[in-house]
Chains A and B, each alone.
Chain A
Amino acid sequence: MNRQEIIDRIQGKVSSLIAGTSQGIDYPVVYVNKEHLIEFMKFLKEDEELSFDLISDVTAVDYPDRNPRFDVVYHIFSIKNGQRIRVKVPVGDGEGVESVTSVWRGAEWLEREVYDMFGITFYNHPDLRRILMEEDFKYYPLRKDFPLEGIEE
């Protein structure tokens, strides 16, 4: 399967769940709204041809001047096809998205890292705690407005 075939397959099957697609510079990108996230992710994993069965990264991007402010970005790999896909979900400040741990158990620590660094909540996550910073740390250091040298207490 090449990039175009992946996009065609997604558009053919679940066009109602997605908000847009693009070729991306390295692999296909799909934009999804958070209401449809879990349904769409289940499709990606369970579809026989796509079979995206390995979550390789969850991260986020902060656009301070945009509303909604963040994009949560999922990178998923298909062992069967040797292909990757990127899924982007816009999230506002102080909001959250449904956790994808019900689809891929391996997303647990990846989502904890996004929570730790950006302050994005993941609903129904089995153990949502900070993972890199101390537990009593009050800030979210990968947000653009956080100073590199930290905030004096």
Chain B
Amino acid sequence: MGIEKNLANLGIVTTCLDKVLNWSRKNSLWPMTFGLACCALEMMVTVSARHDIARFGAEVYRGSPRQADLLIVPGTLTKKMLPMVLRLYEQMPEPKWVIAYGNCACTGGVFRTYNVVQGIDQYIPVDVYMAGCPPKPESLLTAIMMLRDKIDKESLKNRG
């Protein structure tokens, strides 16, 4: 086909900016090294050789929120811990995504008590919710894939 064939010969591909950005973003999700309770152990297992989250480009757990774009909230969030989590979230640069890992992070789980936050989504926007107590590592892989699909549909118009 006319002009496109010539461009290909020159080593040039035409596409739209959204596609390229989303493609790179979804293949290099960098989660933050961060754990709250029992669920965090299952999250760590997901990085191991057996489950190998690296297949989805999400194995680079960063020690600093300023280098991360995925906040996985794994476990029971107490009210005392909440200000620290919010501070970490606010330190992450845009674009950023959040996975609520496990019943506790989604709804407070079994802890319907005075000292546990009844769902992290009361304070920060959550992209993917994972049920389970704790969810298996496979669930995290599913969540990562759902998040990838979601990122694929995003547009620069809506998110910087």
Q: Hey, which bits of chain A sit against chain B, CB under 8 A?
A: 132-134, 139, 141, 146-151
Contact partners of B113 in chain A: CB under 8 A: 148-150
Contact partners of B114 in chain A: CB under 8 A: 139, 141, 146-151
User: With an 8 A cutoff between CB atoms, is B115 at the interface?
Assistant: yes
Given A134-B79, A150-B113, A150-B115, 11 other A-B residues pairs in contact with their CB atoms under 8 A? A132-B80, A132-B115, A133-B79, A134-B80, A139-B114, A141-B114, A148-B112, A148-B113, A148-B114, A149-B114, A150-B114
- Distance in angstroms from A143 CB to nearest chain B CB is 12
Q: Once bound together, how far apart are the Cα atoms of A147 and B79, in whole Å?
A: 17
Number of residue pairs spanning A and B whose beta carbons lie under 8 angstroms apart: 22
- Distance in angstroms from B30 CB to nearest chain A CB is 31
- Distance in angstroms from B154 CB to nearest chain A CB is 36
Contact partners of A141 in chain B: CB under 8 A: 114-115
- Distance in angstroms from A152 CB to nearest chain B CB is 10
Q: Hey, which bits of chain B sit against chain A, CB under 8 A?
A: 79-80, 112-115
Interface of B, helix, strand, loop or mixed by DSSP: loop
Contact partners of A133 in chain B: CB under 8 A: 79-80, 115
Contact partners of A132 in chain B: CB under 8 A: 80, 115
Q: Once bound together, how far apart are the Cα atoms of A68 and B45, in whole Å?
A: 52
Q: Once bound together, how far apart are the Cα atoms of A83 and B45, in whole Å?
A: 43
Q: Once bound together, how far apart are the Cα atoms of A20 and B113, in whole Å?
A: 38
- Distance in angstroms from A93 CB to nearest chain B CB is 20
Contact partners of B115 in chain A: CB under 8 A: 132-133, 141, 150
The 10 closest A-B pairs by CB, nearest first: A150-B114, A134-B80, A148-B113, A141-B114, A149-B112, A134-B79, A149-B114, A149-B113, A133-B115, A133-B80
- Distance in angstroms from B103 CB to nearest chain A CB is 17
Which interface residue of A141, A148, A150 has the most chain B CB atoms within 10 A? Answer: A150
Closest residue of chain B to A146, judged by CB? Answer: B114
Q: Once bound together, how far apart are the Cα atoms of A147 and B114, in whole Å?
A: 8
What would be 13 A-B contacts, judged by CB atoms less than 8 Å apart? A132-B115, A133-B115, A134-B79, A134-B80, A139-B114, A141-B114, A146-B114, A147-B114, A148-B112, A149-B112, A150-B113, A150-B114, A151-B114
